[in-house]
Amino acid sequence: MPEGHTIHRLARDLRRDLGRQQLQVQSPQGRFAAESQLLDGDFLQGTDAWGKHLFLRWKSGRLVHIHLGLYGKFRRHKTPPPEPRPTVRLRLWGRDRCWDLVGPNRCELLSEEGEAELLQRLGPDPLRADADVDQVWQRIHKSRVCIGGLLLNQAVIAGVGNVYRAEVLFDQRIAPETRGCDLSREQFLGIWERLCEWLQIGVRYNRIITAEPEQVGRSRGRMRRKERLQCYGHAACTECGTEIECWELANRKMYACPVCQAGGHPVGT
């Protein structure tokens, strides 16, 4: 499942390629056909993202909401594009570029009320300038759920997935089982600031990078896959050499060092 940086990067790339122009809109697969007909010839005014949700805003006032889910993907072509695959839900055809969307979890027209309802279910997004950090703190501070679960809850904080979750808890030396209410405000701010910084790096490089260039001895752009992360997917702790523990937490794989992140013990191990 893509994390928030992927969706914000998509919003940016779509805006650069297709923004401020009139687009041909099609649904070769047919499942977005009626909506595509309404949008065909409309002018794409802007794009933005909130957590894992992507929004395309049109001059007509219409709003397309896309959630990629596990399988959704965009493909980018030069114009004229190749014949669309039969699985293309949405084709956006502009002056120089054409983008195809396949396999999204959601691709729908959203009314103003629909948008408000959706946003109400989402917590603040660290990548948005308007993110209300205090709201996130209040939710975490009042919760008896563990921080490893809270970080994946899109209603608490939007855009964080299981890679950033494992990385930030390792970075801040916090046991994933620590309850929200047992975290200090300082610990929380450490998590938040790291997430803000890393998500922005994620947008810039279009991938998750949490390792520091000085640690690795290579710039972020030149790091190899294994070098980009500090803990997630690692066998041994980069800090102390202890075996990294891996278990299911809130239905996703959690990785943590039992020594560096002491203070709680993984459930089920």
How many residues touch Zn ion (CB under 5 A)? 7
Q: Which of 27, 202, 260, 264 binds Zn ion (CB under 5 A)?
A: 260
- 196 or 259: whose CB is closer to Zn ion? 259
- Cross-strand pairs, 254: 247
Residue number with the smallest Cβ distance to Zn ion: 237
34 binds Zn ion, rule: CB under 5 A: no
Query: How far is it, in rounded angstroms, from Cα 212 to Cα 236?
Result: 18
Binding of Zn ion at residue 259 (CB under 5 A)? yes
Minimum CB separation of residue 169 from Zn ion in Å reads 12
Is residue 166 involved in binding Zn ion (CB under 5 A)?
Answer: no
**Cβ–Cβ contacts within 10 Å for residue 142, how many?**
10
For residues 17 and 171, which CB has a smaller minimum distance to Zn ion in the complex?
Answer: 171
Q: Which residues are catalytic?
A: 2-3, 52, 252
Rg of the chain, C-alpha, whole Å: 20
| In the complex, least distance from residue 173 CB atom to Zn ion, rounded to whole angstroms | 9
The residues in 221-250 that bind Zn ion, with binding defined as CB under 5 A, are 237, 239-240, 242
CB 38 within 8 A of CB 62: yes
Q: How far is the CB of 170 from Zn ion (least distance, A)?
A: 8
The nearest distance, CB 241 to Zn ion, in angstroms, is 7
- Distance between CA atoms of 175 and 166, rounded to whole angstroms? 10
Comparison of 42 and 171: residue with beta carbon closer to Zn ion: 171
CB of 231 to Zn ion, least distance (A): 9
Q: From CA 11, how far away is CA 127, in angstroms rounded?
A: 12
* Secondary structure of 232-244 in HEC code, one letter for each residue: CCCCECCCCCCEC
Instruction: Look at the alpha carbons of 208, 140, 119, 152 in this order and tell me if their dihedral is positive or negative.
Output: positive
Q: Backbone dihedral region of 112: left (phi > 0), alpha (psi from -120 to 50 degrees) or beta?
A: alpha
Choice between 249 and 257, CB closer to Zn ion: 257
- Residue (201 or 259) nearer to Zn ion, CB: 259
CA distances from 185 to 37, 106, 173, 188, 190 (A): 50, 36, 15, 5, 9
Smallest distance from Zn ion to CB 39, Å: 52
Q: Which of 101, 162, 257, 266 contacts Zn ion by CB under 5 A?
A: 257
Alpha helices in the chain (DSSP H): 4-18, 33-39, 112-120, 133-141, 147-150, 162-171, 185-205, 213-216
Choices 30-38, 50-58, 61-69, 260-268; region in contact with Zn ion by CB under 5 A = 260-268
- Residue 211 lies near Zn ion (rule: CB under 5 A): no
Site for Zn ion in 61-120 (CB under 5 A): none
Bridge partners of 58, per DSSP, are: 44
Which residues make up the interface to Zn ion (CB under 5 A)? 237, 239-240, 242, 257, 259-260
